[in-house]
A and B are shown apart, each in its own frame.
Chain A
Amino acid sequence: MKEPDILFLIGGPQGGGIESAGQIALKTLVLKGYSVLGTRDYKSNIMGAHSYYTIRARFSRPGAIRFPVDAVVALDAESILTHFTDVKPGGLFVYDSGVLKTKIDSIQPMEKALKDRLKELFASKGLPPITESAIKIAEENGVKLVPLPLRELVRKLAEKTGASLTSVSKAVNTMGLTAMMYLMGVEPRCVEKGIALHFAAKKKVVNINVEAARLAVEYVESNFGGPRETLPDGPHRGKKVMLATGNDLVAMGKLAGGLTFQSYYPITPASDEAIYMERFRYYELSNDAREKLGVPKLGTVIVQTEDELSAIMMALGAAAAGARASTSTSGPGFALMNEAISLAIMAEIPVVLTIWMRGGPSTGLPTKEGQQDLLHAMFSGHGDNPKIVLASGDHVEAFYDAIKALNWAEKYQTPVVHLLDKYLASTTTSLYPDEIDSSKATIERGVRVDDPSEDYKRYAITENGISPFAPIGAKDMILTGLEHTEEGFPTEDPVIRDEMMAKRRRKFETIAREIPPEEKVVLHGDPDAKITLVSWGSTKPIILEALKLLEEKGVKANFLQIRVFYPFPVKEVLDVLTRAETVINIEQNDLLQAAFLIRGFTGFTIKHHIKKLNGRALWDTEVVQAVLEILETGKEEVVVKGGA
């Protein structure tokens, strides 16, 4: 039997239960023993705009989503019109049959540009500008149509449960989802378990949704028949599984990593991290820790500040006073933190800046994917401004990197910029206990003196450039952003200036030396492959999928993932790139920022580039196509454009 690999999406208006439907689907599939990947696409809007949840499930963890999918559930006219071409021939298109006469122009939230494209397409086929035309085209494309009379089903649901029409009308998401999952071979009782798990203590909601699921199954069965075959159970049944987003995992990593202070100002897609963390700000210690420390619970102070200037400065104050501190934001907030980063470098204060990139410039695409802040991170802060810049490639890395970033910040008394992005932030995956295991992490704080002697100097000049850290309150001292003596008093003396510049430089060299090479770059795949793909950040699992697909097509490539950009791993990168015959760089920004850094630090110019700028997740299939196109034509640049 071929390993099942299912891929579907559910779309509807924002605020219409799309997130819930996605979560129910993920939980159902996890209960069935599958490994899952689910990503949420939404707009900068609270209610009404189109949003959708794309889910892929198979035995091994899926690394990428892509279109076309096996099935679409479209809960409203805009979803039908947005996704009718996103289904494979033979796939399922489940939709609300009550909206077929809806005119394109009457759908207010829909983008005018999309309306215009659709009207042109429909006109070219002699079809009227209404929703039904999309269904006709889907049918022509060989898609299996599953119209659901949602209004009627909602009425029946109200009758059956005795609840009001308005209170049950929300359950259309469950109806659509269950109809689709049933036809894909997922047993209705599994969906019911998924529903019960998702709504947990809310008995009444569970009941309404279970009834909604049953009505949907009944309707589908009597009108379209049952599924061709039942989906086999996956290999992970019986395991403990964690379903978490990148935001969640960074929050978990930070708390496990001993974070004691976090400040933030709300911004997409960063704030979910702090908000999730805040729910657990007074947490239970593990049995071992509780015994050894003699305290059952400890707390992490989390403060929502008045702006990002305050967020970073508060974190710096807390860190100077001995806290393990971080702040979290995305591009716009990070821009406001620039001056403080420079202070942290000069005053040698440990702090982690978790940056969740999104589409820029400016407010740009606030809820969409982008990797445009690499150069921003590298060059943040004025003056000579070396710092650590670390980029996580997937959920597991995000968890451990959050801990590592905190370690490095304290060990080297420096700001650490931890780069992540919107895709990781709002993508959920299933994780197993051996993958997220806090006992595999270590906590290191570097040289700290809690009870400094009289002659302690905050900025003592040392061989490795690191001055022992004493927290504020341990002794009289002075921390400063002015150039200073070893004691921290301001000085403009030319000799001391040179000594201090050299000290800070030595510290940075120590960092470069001490971070192990395998934590700076990872070469995935056959080291002897002639083709090397280079990338960073959340494209990692997508490119790993692409490598497999390429291999199926007879193209052997490996993948150089850059994890640490600063201190830049010159030797490690150069070693790999100079060995390859063809190097192709892949990133989601227009300036080709990683390639720019590679050229600047190593002198190696990458000739071929694949980029994606439209704010949608990168697909493995489009990477494959672009690689093939480059290999065939020698093209320097291919812009991939998938996504709705």
Chain B
Amino acid sequence: MARSWMEYRTPAWVQWCPGCGNFGILAAIQRAISELDIEPKKLTVVSGIGCSGRSCYYIKGSNMHVLHGRAIPVATGIKLANPSQTVIALGGDGDMLGIGVEHFVSVGRRNIDITVIVHDNAVYGLTKGQAGPTLPAWIQTKALPGPNLHDNINPVLLAFASGYTFIARGYAYHVEQTKELIKQAIEHKGTSLVQILQPCPTYNNIMTKQWYEERIYYLNEEEPDWDPVVSTHDEYIAKMPRILMKLVEWGDKIPLGVLYRNIAKDTFEERLSKIILNYYEYPPGRRPIEVEGKPLIDPWTVFKEKVVETQKI
């Protein structure tokens, strides 16, 4: 029997403002991992800095709270060292798409089997409401001294261009649906993105619960034939126009659900195991490095191309 989601709570005080979208995301993650029956110690949540980043203290796992923008490379290192671990990297829009955007992009190129969750409130919550990278231009949220002059980044399109093999969008207050997306993301083999639209009642007074709920719709409900799964190149070519239309749709209508999934690409771990043949059996975090305190290799044998046998003259 699966563990109850309550088993994934921790003693820490959840310190978000009342009504914060992060509560819904937290619940969705806890429910997803409980339904997947992942043992707490086999789950790792790595988070960046921000209101959202606090989540790693609230989910029972073998977790790590790192630097602003740097959850993804840490998650990558953990996954590569211990590929049997379920690894989630999470952070805010500022964390993932501002200061850490180079990692957001590069992880896609590797297709490491981790799940990236972006808590997208379009503001910098923890530093008191500055514009986030997903805040559209000319919007002036509460804490801004003037309208935002930057255009907004499109996280799902960026993820697609970067090579993510699972891309989904959810909405923080829809715990049940978001939980399903997170479950699928975790189960997907490869780099997954779940962008979660997250109202911040304290600082984002424009993109509110009402604002979102007037716009969002679920793809599988409005378009019953929606099928974003790609398993061959031909299928990719055939489905791409429609998938791209959905990846760029934003404004009066905002699609939610799985936007793209590619099951044809191998993960970085699989690629590694073609070079280090016993990689899964002896991953970096779980392999012997000595016998009786002595090194496992003799440089004169392993690096023999550097050795000159002078008697051979």
Tell me the A residues contacting B by CB distance below 8 Å: 27, 30-33, 190, 193, 197, 236-244, 248, 252, 255-261, 263, 280-286, 288-289, 292-293, 295, 297-301, 303, 305-307, 309-311, 313-325, 339-340, 343, 347, 399, 403, 430, 433, 436, 438-439, 441-445, 471-482, 489-490
Is the CB of B44 closer than 8 A to any CB of chain A?
Answer: yes
**Contact (Cβ within 8 A) A325 B284:** yes
Chain A residues whose C-beta falls within 8 Å of the C-beta of B298 in the assembled complex: 256, 286, 438-439
A64 to B10, CA, bound (A): 61
A590 to B309, CA, bound (A): 43
**Contact (Cβ within 8 A) B310 A239:** yes
Could you say which of B272, B299, B307 has the most chain A C-beta atoms within 10 Å of its C-beta?
Answer: B299
Is the CB of B311 closer than 8 A to any CB of chain A?
Answer: yes
A-B contact pairs, 10 of them (CB 8 A): A243-B308, A244-B306, A256-B295, A256-B296, A281-B275, A325-B81, A347-B64, A433-B300, A443-B289, A489-B57
Is the CB of B276 closer than 8 A to any CB of chain A?
Answer: yes
A531 to B272, CA, bound (A): 56
Is the CB of B41 closer than 8 A to any CB of chain A?
Answer: yes
Q: Tell which of B65, B289, B311, B313 touches A481, judged by Cβ atoms closer than 8 Å.
A: B65
Chain A residues whose C-beta falls within 8 Å of the C-beta of B74 in the assembled complex: 313-314, 316-317, 320
Is the CB of B226 closer than 8 A to any CB of chain A?
Answer: no
Min CB–CB distance B67 → chain A (angstroms)? 6
Is chain B's binding surface mostly helix, strand, loop or mixed? Answer: mixed
Known: A31-B313, A239-B310, A313-B70. A282 touches B277 (CB 8 A): yes
Could you say which of B41, B60, B296, B307 has the most chain A C-beta atoms within 10 Å of its C-beta?
Answer: B296
Which B274-303 residues have C-beta < 8 A from chain A?
Answer: 275-279, 282-303
- With CB as the reference atom, state the residue of chain A lying closest to B300: A433
Chain A residues whose C-beta falls within 8 Å of the C-beta of B148 in the assembled complex: none
The 4 closest A-B pairs by CB, nearest first: A317-B77, A258-B289, A299-B276, A322-B285
A319 to B73, CA, bound (A): 12
**Contact (Cβ within 8 A) B66 A301:** no
**Contact (Cβ within 8 A) B103 A310:** yes
Min CB–CB distance A426 → chain B (angstroms)? 15
- With CB as the reference atom, state the residue of chain A lying closest to B109: A306
**Contact (Cβ within 8 A) A340 B301:** no
**Contact (Cβ within 8 A) B285 A471:** yes
Is the CB of B46 closer than 8 A to any CB of chain A?
Answer: yes
**Contact (Cβ within 8 A) A480 B64:** yes
Chain B residues whose C-beta falls within 8 Å of the C-beta of A303 in the assembled complex: 76, 80
**Contact (Cβ within 8 A) A478 B295:** no
Known: A292-B291, A443-B289. A313 touches B73 (CB 8 A): yes
A308 to B272, CA, bound (A): 21
**Contact (Cβ within 8 A) A320 B278:** no
- With CB as the reference atom, state the residue of chain A lying closest to B292: A292
Is the CB of B62 closer than 8 A to any CB of chain A?
Answer: yes
Known: A321-B81, A323-B81, A340-B70. A33 touches B106 (CB 8 A): no
Is chain A's binding surface mostly helix, strand, loop or mixed? Answer: mixed
Q: Tell which of A236, A321, A347 touches B85, judged by Cβ atoms closer than 8 Å.
A: A321
**Contact (Cβ within 8 A) A30 B308:** yes
**Contact (Cβ within 8 A) A473 B41:** yes
**Contact (Cβ within 8 A) A301 B297:** no
A233 to B149, CA, bound (A): 76
A313 to B69, CA, bound (A): 10
Could you say which of B41, B78, B85 has the most chain A C-beta atoms within 10 Å of its C-beta?
Answer: B78
Which B70-96 residues have C-beta < 8 A from chain A?
Answer: 70, 73-82, 84-85
**Contact (Cβ within 8 A) B56 A478:** yes
- With CB as the reference atom, state the residue of chain B lying closest to A190: B313
Q: Tell which of B78, B289, B310 touches A240, judged by Cβ atoms closer than 8 Å.
A: B310
Chain A residues whose C-beta falls within 8 Å of the C-beta of B106 in the assembled complex: 305-306, 310
Chain B residues whose C-beta falls within 8 Å of the C-beta of A289 in the assembled complex: 291, 294-297
**Contact (Cβ within 8 A) B64 A472:** yes
Chain A residues whose C-beta falls within 8 Å of the C-beta of B291 in the assembled complex: 288-289, 292-293
**Contact (Cβ within 8 A) A260 B276:** no
Chain A residues whose C-beta falls within 8 Å of the C-beta of B2 in the assembled complex: none
Chain B residues whose C-beta falls within 8 Å of the C-beta of A239 in the assembled complex: 310
**Contact (Cβ within 8 A) B289 A473:** no
Q: Tell which of A33, A300, A442, A489 touches B284, judged by Cβ atoms closer than 8 Å.
A: A300
> Interface residue tally of chain B, by bracket?
35 or more
Known: A317-B76, A473-B44. A255 touches B66 (CB 8 A): no
- With CB as the reference atom, state the residue of chain A lying closest to B86: A473
Chain A residues whose C-beta falls within 8 Å of the C-beta of B297 in the assembled complex: 255-256, 283-286, 289, 438
Chain A residues whose C-beta falls within 8 Å of the C-beta of B79 in the assembled complex: 317
**Contact (Cβ within 8 A) B313 A322:** no
Q: Tell which of A241, A311, A340, A443 touches B307, judged by Cβ atoms closer than 8 Å.
A: A241
Chain A residues whose C-beta falls within 8 Å of the C-beta of B288 in the assembled complex: 293, 298
**Contact (Cβ within 8 A) A479 B277:** no
Is the CB of B61 closer than 8 A to any CB of chain A?
Answer: yes
Chain B residues whose C-beta falls within 8 Å of the C-beta of A477 in the assembled complex: 62-63
**Contact (Cβ within 8 A) B299 A322:** no
A257 to B102, CA, bound (A): 32
A206 to B263, CA, bound (A): 49
**Contact (Cβ within 8 A) B308 A317:** no
A197 to B295, CA, bound (A): 29
**Contact (Cβ within 8 A) A32 B313:** yes
Known A241-B310, A472-B78, A476-B40; further 5 A-B contacts with Cβ < 8 A: A31-B312, A298-B278, A299-B278, A310-B73, A475-B62
A238 to B311, CA, bound (A): 4
- With CB as the reference atom, state the residue of chain B lying closest to A256: B295
**Contact (Cβ within 8 A) A317 B294:** no
Q: Tell which of B78, B277, B303 touches A317, judged by Cβ atoms closer than 8 Å.
A: B78
Chain B residues whose C-beta falls within 8 Å of the C-beta of A309 in the assembled complex: 69-70, 73, 102-103
Min CB–CB distance B210 → chain A (angstroms)? 33
**Contact (Cβ within 8 A) A282 B299:** no
- With CB as the reference atom, state the residue of chain B lying closest to A260: B284
**Contact (Cβ within 8 A) A443 B294:** yes
Chain B residues whose C-beta falls within 8 Å of the C-beta of A482 in the assembled complex: 65
**Contact (Cβ within 8 A) B77 A255:** no
- With CB as the reference atom, state the residue of chain A lying closest to B56: A478
Chain B residues whose C-beta falls within 8 Å of the C-beta of A315 in the assembled complex: 77
**Contact (Cβ within 8 A) A442 B310:** no
A219 to B286, CA, bound (A): 62
Min CB–CB distance A21 → chain B (angstroms)? 17
Chain B residues whose C-beta falls within 8 Å of the C-beta of A439 in the assembled complex: 294-295, 298
Q: Tell which of B62, B67, B284 touches A318, judged by Cβ atoms closer than 8 Å.
A: B284
Known: A240-B309, A310-B106, A317-B75. A340 touches B81 (CB 8 A): no
Chain B residues whose C-beta falls within 8 Å of the C-beta of A307 in the assembled complex: 102
**Contact (Cβ within 8 A) B289 A324:** yes
Min CB–CB distance B301 → chain A (angstroms)? 7
Is the CB of B245 closer than 8 A to any CB of chain A?
Answer: no
Is the CB of B128 closer than 8 A to any CB of chain A?
Answer: no
**Contact (Cβ within 8 A) B307 A248:** no
- With CB as the reference atom, state the residue of chain B lying closest to A252: B299
Is the CB of B237 closer than 8 A to any CB of chain A?
Answer: no
A316 to B74, CA, bound (A): 6
Min CB–CB distance B93 → chain A (angstroms)? 19
**Contact (Cβ within 8 A) A476 B67:** no
Chain A residues whose C-beta falls within 8 Å of the C-beta of B306 in the assembled complex: 242-244, 248
A409 to B291, CA, bound (A): 19
Min CB–CB distance B43 → chain A (angstroms)? 8
Min CB–CB distance A108 → chain B (angstroms)? 36
Chain B residues whose C-beta falls within 8 Å of the C-beta of A297 in the assembled complex: 277-278
Chain B residues whose C-beta falls within 8 Å of the C-beta of A255 in the assembled complex: 297, 302
Chain B residues whose C-beta falls within 8 Å of the C-beta of A282 in the assembled complex: 275-277
Chain A residues whose C-beta falls within 8 Å of the C-beta of B293 in the assembled complex: 442-444
A472 to B62, CA, bound (A): 5
Known: A299-B278, A340-B70. A323 touches B284 (CB 8 A): yes
Could you say which of B44, B60, B81, B279 has the most chain A C-beta atoms within 10 Å of its C-beta?
Answer: B81
Chain A residues whose C-beta falls within 8 Å of the C-beta of B301 in the assembled complex: 284, 286
Min CB–CB distance B2 → chain A (angstroms)? 17
Min CB–CB distance A502 → chain B (angstroms)? 22
Could you say which of B12, B40, B64 has the most chain A C-beta atoms within 10 Å of its C-beta?
Answer: B64
Is the CB of B105 closer than 8 A to any CB of chain A?
Answer: yes
